[in-house]
Chain A
């Protein structure tokens, strides 16, 4: 499981860097989405993957020998998810307004416009 998740995270990071290096700002936003997904998965995986172990011990503590799953990363990832949702929504609106104002989604054209 760890290897699988690690591969996915790595792939998403790679994909986001690739998207960032493209010229179109639509792909830039896709890069942002991949980047935040990769990060959320990374956060999620920090607690480790323990199958079938509860995130708490019972009152008497009879099962103290059993491994206890860590519930905190899931709380963290929930917070991070909400934040990345907000960021993604904002960046989508931003590129839409950007396109309406400039009539272009190309960052190179943008740089040329700046020179003028």
Chain B
């Protein structure tokens, strides 16, 4: 049952939220309770999984290939916990940040819908069910990204909607093709068929289609164009939700499918994945270096860091996979923290343009610190979590002697630092240009967003402090990911 709760809770929260949509206080309370239950459930799932390895739930008691299977292993539990914790904090931030008109127009309902989709995609063991959860997730995100219908939001949304729809179409047509060829929709049974019969040649073309679909979701090169067009447009609390969930679920499914289905000795999968990783890193970081808007720089950086995660997957040793998982978790916290800090600056200065801003450090040292730490973490300076994330990946790269990608990762890091320094100089340190008028009245920034940002920055530092033990834990999750046999056994006992 614990596997079902991450899906059931947001869905029932939606029902309650619709019933109480006129009372904002009730909306806050229900949303926070829902997120709290998700965090607690993810924690209990994590402890159970340490003993049992896998938790499965067959919907309505139908045995495996006939019903819908829900399955959680350690990797999905880690993701569930990270999504829930970050979601909890961003929810707190959003309560204090999003304007009342948006809140009254169903903001909280949509966010719960987003989380239902994300959690569903993380625990499902069925291909078509995965598509349905993806659809739940992107429908919620469609409405969130256009929520409020400002001009720039609508412009971004056109690209976002079309490209994500094409991704979904790729996904569902591939699922249909796989079903017509193999007669199964169960992920474990498909893995079993690939092992028992020699269908790997056939699977390569399907897997390529799957990776295109998930690549669009995860914003991997060359499918990332929707992300920089749309992420910087909605209120930053929504962007923070997205940065913690959407692309990371794409990465999760890429990792899951790659470890379950790819024949690692056959076709040049490793080369393809590593090339894509390198290109994703480089393009993301170069575009970030060339833009001058706080949110745009951070959005481009999401792309660049997706590249690191894909790099860990491409090398495909236990160490590199563990590094990739570590990096995903680190990125969910650090990137979201950076977005939240950017939002605080926006409240203070009223703009995201770097050139119109300045002197935040002088006016609000706390805000500067709240950006400084995530920025260090994103650039990968010790002792933050970003340093260890990159360290594990680069060590794994050297171990498996994939020099080119490892050196690319190192060089890209320097550019990341460059962008972070650029933001720091322009927004926090620079004396504002003379023509810009900074309001010198004390700006009222709600306490709740500040508290949430402080909390997420502190939490973000924890993986850096406990990097060793966390890495040990993630290695076990990675070993479990590579062990396809026991995944199949968990579904077909």
Contacts and interface: CB of A to CB of B under 8 A. Distances in A.
Partners in one complex: yes
Interface in A23-82: 25, 28, 32, 35-36, 39, 42-43, 45-48, 72-73, 76, 79-80
A113 B152 CA distance: 10
Nearest to A79: B132
Contacts of B146: 94, 97
Interface stretch (B169-177, B279-287, B399-407): B169-177
Question: For A36, A76, A79, A95, which residue has the most chain B Cβ atoms within 10 angstroms?
Answer: A76
A31 to B, nearest CB: 8
Interface stretch (B157-165, B216-224, B368-376): B157-165
Given A39-B173, A43-B172, A83-B132, A73 B151 contact: no
Interface of B is mostly: helix
Indicate the size class of the contact surface on chain B. Answer: 20 to 34
Interface stretch (B33-41, B135-143, B249-257): B135-143
A43 B139 contact: no
A105 to B, nearest CB: 11
B132 A110 contact: no
B458 to A, nearest CB: 38
B155 A110 contact: yes
Nearest to B155: A110
A28 B176 contact: no
B142 to A, nearest CB: 6
Most buried by B among A90, A107, A114: A90
A97 B176 CA distance: 34
Which applies to chain A's interface (DSSP): helix, strand, loop or mixed?
Answer: helix
A101 B177 CA distance: 41
Contact of A83 (B135, B143, B149, B162): B135
Contacts of A87: 139, 165
Contacts of B154: 94, 97-98, 101-102
A32 B165 contact: yes
Nearest to A35: B169
Contacts of B139: 83, 86-87, 90
B161 A90 contact: yes
Nearest to B129: A79
Contact of A80 (B143, B172, B185): B172
B180 interface: yes
A43 B173 contact: yes
A46 B179 contact: yes
Interface in B201-217: none
A102 B149 CA distance: 11
Nearest to A47: B180
B269 interface: no
Contacts of B165: 32, 35-36, 87, 91
Q: Which of B139, B143, B176, B180 has the largest count of A CB atoms less than 10 A from its CB?
A: B176
B179 A90 contact: no
19 contacts: A20-B162, A28-B158, A39-B169, A39-B172, A43-B175, A48-B180, A72-B185, A73-B176, A73-B179, A79-B128, A90-B142, A94-B146, A94-B154, A97-B146, A98-B155, A101-B151, A107-B158, A110-B158, A113-B155
A-B pairs, 7 with minimum CB distance: A46-B180, A43-B176, A46-B176, A98-B154, A101-B151, A83-B135, A39-B169
Interface of A: 20, 25, 28, 32, 35-36, 39, 42-43, 45-48, 72-73, 76, 79-80, 83, 86-87, 90-91, 94-95, 97-98, 101-102, 107, 110, 113-114
